């Protein structure tokens, strides 16, 4: 992992491939067309943070966790064609990916070659210092919770991106600003919600009831989009509730 | 992402679950939590006999706006019930009118809600109590507080 050497040129795009669903990207990979490598790269960008979070929470230090994540990407996602082996009819992609990761870590532990991964000149994952620092693994109680948290971060960010675009498209920029100020920034950055009085003045609104209803309008869009996004990672929409509850269980797993 | 990652993400995931079960009630509950985060939802807020008059006036205004701006007819119908519920709670708990509507209008709508099988039971109960309080105190003897 050439983290130091490449730190300045590396980047992290949390919404890579956001316009496509997991399963449509996986389908593109499996199709073996000229779009395949682009789709594979998008999937890797989308899911390596969750892989890293699991490995890191499993007790590895930052360098080993990054090394193992890189190894999983190269050895399993690329060489062993992980995405080509995914089958939508057999359950959640998240579960499939986590199972493959656990197998890989057991395998690496068993054979523990201690050699640095050779990626044959390819470096499909661009780890930036900022991205590594941003991922919160300390607060997670278990590796599964860390994986679920990072997976959920990816989901939430893709959905927020889509909702913001839709609000702009529909002329609801002020609605988005209220939602962002009251919900998004507190949720993602731990900031205090902007007081309604400040938003009323800034956006020239009538009163707090108007502002709160604007916020609720976007929150509802967000919830709907989130359900849709989760629906794209399960074999059938009927499993959306199960998947949401499973994510919640993983996030809230007690020690 | 700060140290409350799991907690914050849990909230977002729960919004998706809540909205899937009953989108209209989820929206009303979120509005209620903006008014008073201590309550689990809109009906619980209005059913709290210790709620202040100021909170009830905020709730009335919020649900009045939702009654107009609600995304679906279901939203607007629920908002209308909650709007009336806030007016009823102010009468029942504080003996105060927070609506400029006439006695006939308010009493008629309270009686409709008491008989409305689709209205939440707690709201029907509050409407019944408000109706009794009006009989007891007399409409014209109740002070009126203006809202925005």
- Taking only the tens place, the pLDDT of each residue in B50-90 is 999 999 999 999 999 999 999 999 999 999 999 999 999 99
CB-CB under 8 Å, A212 with B34: yes
Those residues whose C-beta lies under 8 Å from the C-beta of residue A10, and which sit 6 or more positions away, are A3, A126, A127, A128, A129, A131
Residue whose C-alpha is closest to residue B4's, from A154, A191, A193, A220:
A191
Q: Are A172 and B69 in contact (CB under 8 A)?
A: no
Would you place residue A112 in the very low, low, confident or very high pLDDT band (cuts 50, 70, 90)?
low
DSSP-assigned beta bridge partners for residue A92: none
CB-CB under 8 Å, B26 with A223: yes
Residues of B in contact with A207 (CB under 8 A): 61, 148
Q: Taking the mean position of all CA atoms in its chain, how far away is CA A197?
A: 34
d(CA B139, CA A89): 64
Radius of gyration in angstroms for the set of CA atoms belonging to chain A, rounded to a whole number: 20
Which phi and psi angles does B97 have, rounded to 5°? -90, 130
A185 touches chain B (CB under 8 A): no
Q: How many cross-chain Cβ pairs, A to B, lie less than 8 Å apart?
A: 112
**pLDDT tens-digit map of A19-35:** 466 778 888 888 888 78
Q: What is the mean pLDDT of chain A?
A: 81
For the CA atoms of B45, B131, B67, A182, what is the dihedral angle to 10 degrees? Answer: -20
**pLDDT tens-digit map of A175-203:** 999 999 999 998 888 889 999 999 999 99
Å from A232 to nearest chain B CA? 14
B65 touches chain A (CB under 8 A): yes
Encode B43-61: b = buried (16+ Cβ within 10 Å), e = exposed.
bebbbbeebeeebbbbbbb
A86-95, A114-123, A147-156, B61-70: lowest mean pLDDT where?
A114-123
**Closest residue in B to A159 (Cα–Cα):** B12
A153 touches chain B (CB under 8 A): yes
ipTM (interface predicted TM): 0.88
First and final C-alpha spacing in chain B:
38
- Which residue among B2, B13, B62 sits closest to A247, beta carbon to beta carbon? B13
CB-CB under 8 Å, B3 with A139: yes
For the cut 60, the answer to whether the pLDDT of residue A65 exceeds it is yes
- pLDDT, position A91: 74
Q: Which helix (H) or strand (E) holds A155?
A: helix A143-169
Å from B138 to nearest chain A CA? 30
Find the mean pLDDT for residues A117-123. 50
Find the mean pLDDT for residues A45-52. 90
A244 touches chain B (CB under 8 A): yes
CB-CB under 8 Å, A209 with B61: yes
Whole-prediction pTM = 0.80
**Structural tokens at position B68:** 């107009």
Instruction: Return the number of other C-beta atoms located less than 10 Å from residue A247's C-beta.
Output: 23
B78 touches chain A (CB under 8 A): no
Q: What Cα–Cα distance (Å) separates residue B69 from each residue in A85, A134, A165, B84?
A: 47, 38, 21, 16
- pLDDT, position A9: 30
Q: Are A52 and A65 in contact (CB under 8 A)?
A: yes
CB-CB under 8 Å, B18 with A223: yes
Return the DSSP state at B144.
B
């Amino acid at each position: 992992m050439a983290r130091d050497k490449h730190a300045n040129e590396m980047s992290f795009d949390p919404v890579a491939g956001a316009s496509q669903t997991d399963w449509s990207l996986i389908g593109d990979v499996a199709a073996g067309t000229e779009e395949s490598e682009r789709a594979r790269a998008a999937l890797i960008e989308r899911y390596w943070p969750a892989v890293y979070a699991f490995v890191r929470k499993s007790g590895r230090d930052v360098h080993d966790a990054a090394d193992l994540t890189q190894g999983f990407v190269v050895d399993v996602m690329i060489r062993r064609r992980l995405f080509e082996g995914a089958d939508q009819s057999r359950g959640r992609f998240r579960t499939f990916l986590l199972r493959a990761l656990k197998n890989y870590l057991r395998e690496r532990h068993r054979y523990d070659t201690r050699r640095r991964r050779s990626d044959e000149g390819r470096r499909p994952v661009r780890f930036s210092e900022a991205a590594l620092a941003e991922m919160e693994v300390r607060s997670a109680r278990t590796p599964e919770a860390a994986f679920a948290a990072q997976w959920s971060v990816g989901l939430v960010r893709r959905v927020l991106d889509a909702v913001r675009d839709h609000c702009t498209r529909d002329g609801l920029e002020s609605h988005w600003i209220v939602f962002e100020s009251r919900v998004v920034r507190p949720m993602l950055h731990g900031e205090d919600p902007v007081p309604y009085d400040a938003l009323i003045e800034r956006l020239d609104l009538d009163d707090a009831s108007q502002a709160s209803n604007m916020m609720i309008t976007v929150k509802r869009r967000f919830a709907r989009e989130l359900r849709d996004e989760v629906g794209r990672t399960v074999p059938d929409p009927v499993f959306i509730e199960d998947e949401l509850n499973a994510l919640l269980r993983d996030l809230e797993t007690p020690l | 992402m700060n140290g409350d990652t799991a907690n914050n993400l849990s909230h977002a995931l729960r919004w998706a679950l809540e909205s899937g079960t009953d989108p209209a009630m989820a929206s009303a509950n979120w509005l209620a939590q903006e008014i008073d985060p201590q309550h689990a939802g809109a009906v619980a807020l209005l059913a709290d006999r210790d709620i202040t008059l100021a909170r009830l006036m905020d709730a009335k205004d919020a649900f009045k706006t939702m009654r107009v701006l609600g995304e679906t007819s279901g939203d607007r119908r629920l908002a209308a019930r909650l709007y009336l519920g806030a007016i009823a709670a102010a009468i029942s708990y504080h003996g105060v009118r927070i609506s400029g509507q006439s006695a006939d209008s308010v009493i008629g709508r309270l009686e409709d809600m008491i008989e409305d099988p689709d209205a939440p039971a707690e709201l029907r109960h509050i409407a019944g109590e408000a109706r009794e309080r009006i009989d007891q105190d007399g409409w014209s003897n109740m002070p009126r507080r203006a809202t925005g």
